[in-house]
Structure 1
């Protein structure tokens, strides 16, 4: 029952725990707090005094884009990746490259760090060289700090060691091996050998293609099929133009012959050269005399008879007939014609004979042109085949020459790149090499600060725990709460 009452009392105290309770506990457990705090601080001071000295060497690596990175490609112009700004990802990548296990392993071997590590006392089995190197790599990784500096292109690298000489040596070895690895990571191995081998193969192919071209010209009997074909085509065009002109001349001559023949058919072979006309005077005189007589007779009859009298009318008719005969005689005199050969007819006959002669000559010339045209066309077909063969050989030779020059240039670029790599011209450089640190890091202040903090926490926690586990009743309130009865009087511990 008493235990239950105590537990209930403790629960009530937990629920009503205040800052005053903390102060009360601190006052009651002041000796324990002071002793605990001083003890921990003293232990910290001893540890700070006994800790070995650590020397920290530092170096800085600059990442830049001074050297353009060439990309291996079959293009004639080698693409170049040229950038000026360094990204945060590149800085982190270089930092991870510095922290890589294989690089740290090489640094361990180069500085013989595996021999400096002592085997833990709890390890009974002896370690081989690989295990020692692995342990040294882990220790080196813990002691190494690699951090890109913000807002710069620098990477800060620091290493802590007991020996200042060793600290500087490790960082310098790390820088040298890191530069080699950086060059190896950004370089395609075997570039120069590959390009040189390809250039030699294309040089041999080019030599073979040139020999084929020489043999082709000698065997086919042509030096330049393209030029010869051009000349042959020009001649063929001229002959075809002459043939068309001959055909036009033939058509013109035939039309001319037909026209001349038609004109000759319509022309007489002789023409009148002289025409003489004259009247018949005797006939005209007789007819005029008769007319005069008839007129006299009519006059005589009109004196005696009426105009309607039959004999008068008959005389009138004879007069009209005589006058008509006189008029017809005047209109149709006597005609005397003289004829001779027609010169137009003779000229046209001569022109027709000439046209027929020219037609025969033109037809013969057109036939000769057709034969020449067939000959030149056959020659052009042969020259076409020879030109295609030569063009194929020329393309092959040109392609081999271009590839030879391409790989020869790329081999030279690879050789220059290898030379730059050997001279360590790269986009990373040690901006600040590691130097031997002369002053060790003062860790006693840090140890003492940690001791003070740890002593304060430990003393407070220990005082609270000790006070909680103390079963004595220390105040009237605790007595009243425990017994359930009021306290009549309370006497101090010292009896006053």
Structure 2
């Protein structure tokens, strides 16, 4: 019938019904409110007054955050972002090991006196649990705050005793300055030393193999010998070319001299005497004629006969019939002698140049064989030399890094240049208590819970609670309402 009629029996409410209906559930709501509010007030009175201590730390980029590779130079000098540095320091500042150090330094009785008697009487397992509770208490009351793009870390610690809070926070910062060194500093000096010693042993083996190679092949300095052989071969070849050129020149001159010497007579006339008898005869005849003229006239027969003889002799001399050779002397030809001397000298020079040419050719052959031998040995030499150079470079780099690491550790062990405590904690003069906030929260929670309980009870009651709700639910006018009787 409900389905066919189209209306539902579930009550319909309006905002005006809620005050009336909730007033009916006032006792339930009051009971729930009083119970919850009482519990909240009781919990608030159990809270103790705490005294917070505040401090701040300035963090700057330090040597610890600069990347130094252990081998090679790849990535050397890389640094973290400032936010990453702040995050790293924050994690170190909040480390549990740091809190253990603070508790061990100050003592459990100084920080949490209520746990000290239990810790003194407990066994090893119980002591670990109690120490864990103390560390948890420190973590719960310790606050570490940072802000973007700000190199400041703000630290606060709350405790029921103001002096203890300041003491714990200052001790925490002091231990933090010490503890961060063991975390950030790379304890690699021993590892670098071990690696350096290993490289030194390998370098000693490489040096021994290198020296054996040089001694077995009779080489003092491979590179220098190779360079000197190249220069020596070039010099010898140049001398050989010069010798060949001189030999060709001398042989050409020698051949020319031989041809010239064949054309020159070995002997030559030194001088010859020309006969002077016709001239003397002519003079004698003329003297005789003059002598006859002293005794005879020119027409005299003896004079005419002498004139005829003189004329005949002059005619013969003019015709060359009276000419004849005199004495002759023959000697060695100086030109032939000079040519022969030069030929002998050139022959000696040619022989010397040929010997020099043969010696230079032999030297070039020896140098070439030596260079070919060095060329065959060069791959092995390069391998030994390269391995030796690499080991020497590694030993040198590791030695430098070892000294730098040791120096960094020694410097960092004495100072924290990039960390500054801006303000140290001082005992607070005014404490903080959560009693009032907890009481207010308890009041609001109790009131909200009581209201929810009243609404739940109101909605769960059977029937139609008010005439207006019945009219809306049944879609019929309510003509009258009778009061509820017990």
Give the TM-score band, short-chain normalised.
0.5 to 0.7
Residue-by-residue CA offset, 1:193-252 (whole Å, 9 max, x unaligned): 84499489969x89x989x99xx99xx9x9x99999999988887676555444433322
* Structure 1 residue 103 corresponds to structure 2 residue 94: no
Preserved CA contact (<8 Å) 1:239 1:369? no
CA distance in 2: counterparts of 1:22 and 1:467, whole angstroms? 9
Corresponding residue for 1:56? 52
Q: Secondary structure, in 3 states, of the residue corresponding to 1:12?
A: coil
CA distance in 2: counterparts of 1:57 and 1:469, whole angstroms? 53
Shift of 1:475: 3.3
Preserved CA contact (<8 Å) 2:21 2:465? no
Residue-by-residue CA offset, 1:237-279 (whole Å, 9 max, x unaligned): 7676555444433322322232333345567889999xxxxxx
Shift of 1:430: 3.3
Corresponding residue for 1:251? 248
Corresponding residue for 2:77? 80
Corresponding residue for 2:309? none
Any residues of structure 2 matched to 1:316-465 within 5 Å, and which?
347=335, 350-364=338-352, 366-367=354-355, 370-371=358-359, 406-425=397-416, 427-465=418-456
Preserved CA contact (<8 Å) 1:61 1:155? yes
Shift of 1:454: 0.8
Corresponding residue for 2:138? 140
* Structure 1 residue 159 corresponds to structure 2 residue 150: no
Corresponding residue for 2:126? 128
* Structure 1 residue 94 corresponds to structure 2 residue 85: no
Q: Secondary structure, in 3 states, of the residue corresponding to 2:53?
A: strand
- Aligned-residue Cα RMSD (Å) equals 5.7
Residue-by-residue CA offset, 1:148-173 (whole Å, 9 max, x unaligned): 22331223333333233332333333
Change (3 A) 1:349 1:12: same
CA distance in 1: counterparts of 2:150 and 2:98, whole angstroms? 24
Return the TM-score normalized by structure 1: 0.60
- Residue 181 of structure 1: which of 179, 182, 186 is its match? 179
Q: Secondary structure, in 3 states, of the residue corresponding to 1:160?
A: strand
Change (3 A) 1:231 1:178: closer
Where do 5+ consecutive residues of structure 1 fail to align? 274-333
CA distance in 2: counterparts of 1:443 and 1:482, whole angstroms? 49
Change (3 A) 1:37 1:370: same
Q: Secondary structure, in 3 states, of the residue corresponding to 1:431?
A: strand
**Which deviates further from its counterpart, 391-400 or 407-416?**
391-400
Any residues of structure 2 matched to 1:218-297 within 5 Å, and which?
241=238, 244-263=241-260, 265=262
Q: Secondary structure, in 3 states, of the residue corresponding to 2:431?
A: coil
Change (3 A) 1:50 1:359: same
Preserved CA contact (<8 Å) 2:54 2:157? yes
Preserved CA contact (<8 Å) 1:243 1:369? yes
Preserved CA contact (<8 Å) 1:57 1:164? yes
> With CA pairs under 8 Å and 6+ residues apart, which has the higher RCO, 1 or 2?
2
Corresponding residue for 1:149? 147
Where do 5+ consecutive residues of structure 2 fail to align? 272-319
